[in-house]
Amino acid sequence: MAGLALQHVTKIFGRTTVLSDVSLEASDGEFVVVLGPSGCGKSTLLRVIAGLEPQTSGSVSIGKQIVDRLTPRDRDVAMVFQHYALYPHLTVRENLAFGLKMRKESPSVIETQIAEVAELLEIQSLLNAKPQELSGGQRQRVAIGRAIVRKPRLFLFDEPLSNLDARLRASMRVELKKLHRRLNVTMVYVTHDQIEAMTLGEKIVVMDHGTIQQIGTPDHVYHEPGNPFVAGFIGNPPMNLIEGIVKPAATHVEFHAGALTLHLRAQADVYAERGILGIRPEDVCLTRPGTNHLVLDGMIDVHENLGGDHLVYLEVHRHRLVARTTAETAKNIGQSVPVYVPEEKLHLFINHNRIPLKRHE
Amino acid sequence: MTKPFSERLVLLIGIFVAVLGSLFPFFWFVMTSLKSQIHVEAIPPTWWPDGSLTFYESVLFDRHVLTSMGNSLIVASSTTVIALLIATPAAYALARLRLSGKAWMLGGLLCVAMFPQLVIAGPIWQILKRLGGLNTHWGLVLPYVTLTLPLAVWILATFFKELPLELEEAARIDGCTAWQTLSKVMLPLAAPGLFTAAILTFIYAWNEFFFALLILTDPAKHTLPVGIALFQGEFTMPWGEIAAASVIATLPLIVLVLLFQRGIISGLSAGAVKG
Ligand SMILES: Nc1ncnc2c1ncn2[C@@H]1O[C@H](COP(=O)(O)OP(=O)(O)OP(=O)(O)O)[C@@H](O)[C@H]1O
Ligand SMILES: [Mg+2]
């Protein structure tokens, strides 16, 4: 078992830079989730780690060992692919045995290891079937089984749940989490689904266009997004973001965006410049909160009932704000309502960086 | 789902005409080969053979047909083996590598396959003369391999392209070398393509007449098509013997096709349907 470290890894295909100066670390046994939109280079990142694709520059080490010159075979990693990639001409048992056979394990060892994994993943009854006879969920189990049967020192998952329906995805998420706890091996898990990232990851690496946007715990990237991209990508519905002009004053910070003017009772090291103000939908209140807050005039535009929660789309000084509320407060469309914004929940970004707001009472 | 009767009737007639049209000459030869000399020359022609095997006897024992068949076997199987050994890695590379000008290469291959034989006959003869390949079997195999390669590469490249890249990557991570990835994962999956390419190559080499006539002059080295054609005497046309020899020449192909039928059918239709 071993951790993983990438140092300044860059990957260029022809003229397109797919990974640009990517550095990240996973400690021994950590579950790291790489989160980013489609096409941002997640699969390429995994393929570089596995040794399937050489990086243009930078280095990869597994454990304490630099593996840049090792073949995929010698890196001792396992990968679960997006489309399962089970060998169609082999039975499930042969699929599981394949990697062990290639590594010249003895038949008795192979037999016991397959039995162990089959029991763990509850696929004993499928061992003699061919992959095309299995359902999507069963194939996914076998693919995971093929990865863990070899006991590699690092697991790579490439969007393993994206082909499953919502229910199966939820239950596989739970199982993956259990599996990680049980095996206690370093895992790198790639996904574009922020729910998977939040629920599975001990550490989340947010990527966009081949560059790392932020690295942190799920709580950290959620509550203190490092830039507007992270703020907008994580969370559902995404954070409300309003572009405007930031002006520092002696005792407060002013924010102007068209018809909207806010006086934030806080200080920040800024000059007068363009900035983005953000607030999460669940922090926009329609009832007066206990903390320091700003009050705005809003008008209810659309109301969506999600069962437990309600989404209220508001028009506030010509800006669109989404509020997530529990109580069915004021659901008349077209009605004017006061909108409360707790000051400590506001996020300020200037030049794609988070600017801390130092509050003073 | 059953189609209305009239529609099925049209279908049946169509199938019947197609089968009859393509099988009739062969059927006539089989009939002729089983007649005796008097019936062959009878006017008006008789339909049903008398079941005489004299033509077969004379073909098998007086006319070197067995020798020619041996020659054909050697030439056709060497051509098939060599063509596939070259075509497989070539097709794999064309299917997988991101080469610039790949489309041109594939297009060029197709052009080569379409050269009229007469155009290249002269150069080939000259080259073989230089190499000392005239009147040898390898001298015949060489142009056969060149001429069958494009088709084999095309068939195989189509197959390799349809196999997902992820499978190969899975194999490499599972510990395969590049060669093991090809032999343990890619080739078994491309088996229908291999069968198809092999059979088509074999049939081409087995049937080819023009180059065989041009390159081989020694009767002991003739392949079947040439051997049979040279039955013809100065004044006679031994139809019965030609028919019997043709039947014998066709039998190995029929056996081969029947043996690999399932593989070939899925191979020929693979490009059409994804899956
Ligand atoms: N071998 C290659 N040659 C050229 N470009 C490539 C190659 N592989 C990937 N790319 C490009 O790199 C970019 C990132 O691809 P990658 O597959 O890593 O994205 P991804 O984040 O995994 O996307 P998805 O979520 O859709 O799987 C894409 O724009 C793709 O076109
Ligand atoms: Mg991908």
Alpha-carbon gap, residue A198 to B48, rounded angstroms: 84
Indicate if the pLDDT at residue B271 is higher than 50.
no
Residue type, A60: V
Indicate if the pLDDT at residue A1 is higher than 50.
no
Per-residue pLDDT band for B1 (boundaries 50, 70, 90) equals low
What's the mean pLDDT in A110-134?
92
Touching A: B residues 178-197, CB under 8 Å: 180, 185, 188-189
**CB-CB contact of B175 with A102 (8 Å):** yes
More confident residue, A328 or A131: A131
Q: Quick one: which atom of ligand 1 is closest to the CA of A210?
A: 14
Indicate if the pLDDT at residue B275 is higher than 60.
no
- Write out the two tokens for B6: 């009239």
- Write out the two tokens for B164: 């997902």
Is the complex ipTM higher than 0.95? Answer: no
Closest-lying ligand to the alpha carbon of A38? 1
The phi, psi pair for A351, rounded to 5°, reads 50, 45
Indicate if the pLDDT at residue A198 is higher than 80.
yes
Indicate if the pLDDT at residue B272 is higher than 60.
no
Of B245, B154, B253, nearest in space to B206 by CA: B253
| Residue with CA closest to ligand 1 atom 23 | A39
A182-196, A229-243, A320-334, B148-162: the lowest-pLDDT one: A320-334
Indicate if the pLDDT at residue B50 is higher than 80.
no
pLDDT tens, position by position, B74-112: 999 999 999 999 999 999 888 888 777 888 888 888 888
pLDDT number for residue A328:
66
User: Could you tell me the CA-to-CA distances from B205 to A175, B23, B75, B76, B211 in Å, in that order?
Assistant: 58, 22, 7, 5, 10
pLDDT number for residue B235:
66
Per-residue pLDDT band for A17 (boundaries 50, 70, 90) equals very high
What's the mean pLDDT in A87-91?
91
Residue type, A156: L
The phi, psi pair for A170, rounded to 5°, reads -60, -45
Q: pTM, whole model, 2 decimals?
A: 0.81
Alpha-carbon gap, residue A251 to A267, rounded angstroms: 7
What's the mean pLDDT in B245-257?
87
Per-residue pLDDT band for A361 (boundaries 50, 70, 90) equals low
- Write out the two tokens for A289: 């909160």
Between chain A and chain B, how many beta carbons pairs sit less than 8 Å apart?
A: 52
The rounded percent of chain A whose pLDDT value lies above 70 is 98
Fold of B64-268: MetI-like fold (1.10.3720)
**Distance of CA A190 from the midpoint of ligand 2 (Å):** 8
pLDDT tens, position by position, B62-81: 777 888 999 999 999 999 99
Residue type, B21: G
Per-residue pLDDT band for B265 (boundaries 50, 70, 90) equals low
* Residue A250 CB coordination number (10 Å): 5
Alpha-carbon gap, residue A269 to A263, rounded angstroms: 16
What's the mean pLDDT in A328-352?
86
Matching residue, tokens 């599981």: A96
* Residue A103 CB coordination number (10 Å): 13
Alpha-carbon gap, residue A154 to A4, rounded angstroms: 8
What's the mean pLDDT in A217-236?
94
The rounded percent of chain B whose pLDDT value lies above 70 is 92
What's the mean pLDDT in B166-178?
92
The structural domains of chain B, with segments of one domain joined by +, span 64-268
Per-residue pLDDT band for B268 (boundaries 50, 70, 90) equals low
A9-23, A86-100, A293-307, B230-244: the lowest-pLDDT one: B230-244
* Residue B173 CB coordination number (10 Å): 29
What's the mean pLDDT in B118-122?
87
Which residues lie with the beta carbon below 6 Å from any ligand 1 atom?
A 13, 16, 18, 36, 38-44, 192
Q: What would the 3-class secondary structure string for chain B be?
A: CCCCHHHHHHHHHHHHHHHHHHHHHHHHHHHHHCCCHHHHCCCCCCCCCCCCCHHHHHHHHHCCHHHHHHHHHHHHHHHHHHHHHHHHHHHHHHHHCCCCCHHHHHHHHHHHHHCCHHHHHHHHHHHHHHHCCCCCHHHHHHHHHHHHHHHHHHHHHHHHHHCCHHHHHHHHHCCCCHHHHHHHHHHHHCHHHHHHHHHHHHHHHHHCCHHHHHHCCCHHHCCHHHHHHCCCCCCCCCHHHHHHHHHHHHHHHHHHHHHCHHHHHHHHCCCCCCC
Q: Using the beta-carbon criterion (under 8 Å), do B174 and A102 form an inter-chain contact?
A: yes
What's the mean pLDDT in B156-177?
91
What's the mean pLDDT in A287-312?
88
Q: What would the 3-class secondary structure string for chain A be?
A: CCCEEEEEEEEEECCEEEEEEEEEEECCCCEEEEECCCCCCHHHHHHHHHCCCCCCEEEEEECCEECCCCCHHHHCEEEECCCCCCCCCCCHHHHHHHHHHHCCCCHHHHHHHHHHHHHHHCCHHHCCCCHHHCCHHHHHHHHHHHHHCCCCCEEEEECCCCCCCHHHHHHHHHHHHHHHHHHCCEEEEEECCHHHHHHHCCEEEEEECCEEEEEECHHHHHHCCCCHHHHHHCCCCCCEEEEEEEEECCCCEEEEECCEEEEECEECCCCCEEEEEEECHHHCECCCCCCCEEEEEEEEEEEEECCCCEEEEEEECCEEEEEEECCCCCCCCCCEEEEEEEHHHCEEEECCEEECCEECC
User: Could you tell me the CA-to-CA distances from B218 to A67, A143, B135, B137, B227 in Å, in that order?
Assistant: 63, 61, 7, 11, 10
* Complete domains list, chain A, with CATH: 4-230 (3.40.50.300), 238-355 (2.40.50.140)
* Residue A123 CB coordination number (10 Å): 21
Alpha-carbon gap, residue B266 to B243, rounded angstroms: 33
Interface of A with B (CB under 8 A): 47, 50, 52, 71-73, 77-79, 81-83, 85-89, 98-99, 102-103, 146, 150
The phi, psi pair for A299, rounded to 5°, reads -135, 130
Which of B166, B175, B180 shows the shortest C-beta gap to A81?
B166
Cα torsion angle, B260, B265, B269, B275, sign:
negative
- Chain A positions touching B173 (Cβ under 8 A) are 50, 52, 72-73, 77-79, 99
Of A139, A133, A103, nearest in space to A121 by CA: A139
A217-221, A245-249, B240-244: the lowest-pLDDT one: B240-244
pLDDT number for residue B274:
33
pLDDT number for residue A2:
67
pLDDT number for residue A213:
96
> Dihedral through CA B155, CA B160, CA B161, CA B167, nearest 10?
160
Indicate if the pLDDT at residue B233 is higher than 90.
no
**CB-CB contact of A339 with A279 (8 Å):** no
Q: Using the beta-carbon criterion (under 8 Å), do A83 and B164 form an inter-chain contact?
A: yes
Alpha-carbon gap, residue A150 to B134, rounded angstroms: 57
* Residue A221 CB coordination number (10 Å): 27
Alpha-carbon gap, residue A353 to B138, rounded angstroms: 73
Indicate if the pLDDT at residue B248 is higher than 80.
yes
**CB-CB contact of B224 with B249 (8 Å):** yes
Indicate if the pLDDT at residue A201 is higher than 90.
yes
